[in-house]
Amino acid sequence: QVQLVQSGAEVKKPGASVKVSCKASGYTFTGYYIHWMRQAPGQGLEWIGRLNPKTGGTDYAPRSQGRVTMTRDASINTAYMELSSLRSDDTAVYYCARLDMTSGWHWGPGTLVTVSS
C-alpha cells in the first residue's frame, strides 16, 4: 500500500535552513506529484508547493517562493523540501502528501520543525 515516511523532528536557529525528506513506497514514485503542506501550532493547513518526481519540475505558493526548494532522488524514491532563512513563524509540522485522482490523498505522518534561538 502507499506509504510516505518522513524524516524526524528538527530544531533550528533563525536564519538557518532545514531539509525534510519524504520516502515513498507502494507505488511508482515518478507517477504522481508530491505536495508539501504545513501547519503552524493551533493553525490551519497551508499548501507550500508541489514537485513532479518524474521531471523535477516544481510549483511553489507565492508566499513560499524564494525560500523553498523542492527536489527529489528518484533512485531512492525520496522527495525533499528545503526551507531557508528560517523565521520563528516557520515553526510548524510539515507534511508531504500524494494525490491520486482516482483514489484520493495519502499523507505522510508529518515532521515538526521548531525555529528558536
Partner 1 sequence: DIQMTQSPSSLSASVGDRVTITCRASQDIANFLAWFQQKPGEAPKSLIYAASYLQSGVPSKFSGSGFATNFTLTISGLQPEDFGTYYCQQYNSYAITFGQGTRLDIK
Binding-site ranges for partner 1 (CB under 8 A): 35, 37, 44-47, 50, 59, 61-62, 95, 99, 101, 103-110
Question: Across-strand partners of 5?
Answer: 23
Q: How would you classify the pairing of strands 111-115 and 10-12?
A: parallel
Residue with cell 536564519: 15
Nearest distance, CB of residue 40 and partner 1, angstroms? 13
Q: Toward partner 1, which CB reaches closer, 61 or 84?
A: 61
Q: Coil, strand, or helix at residue 3? A: strand
Nearest distance, CB of residue 117 and partner 1, angstroms? 25
Q: Toward partner 1, which CB reaches closer, 66 or 109?
A: 109
Q: Toward partner 1, which CB reaches closer, 69 or 110?
A: 110
Q: Toward partner 1, which CB reaches closer, 8 or 13?
A: 8
Nearest distance, CB of residue 91 and partner 1, angstroms? 16
Sign of the C-alpha dihedral computed for residues 42, 64, 46 and 51 taken in this order: negative
Nearest distance, CB of residue 105 and partner 1, angstroms? 4
Check if the beta carbon of residue 14 is closer than 8 Å to that of residue 88.
yes
Of 41, 21, 29, 32, residue with least CA distance to 83: 21
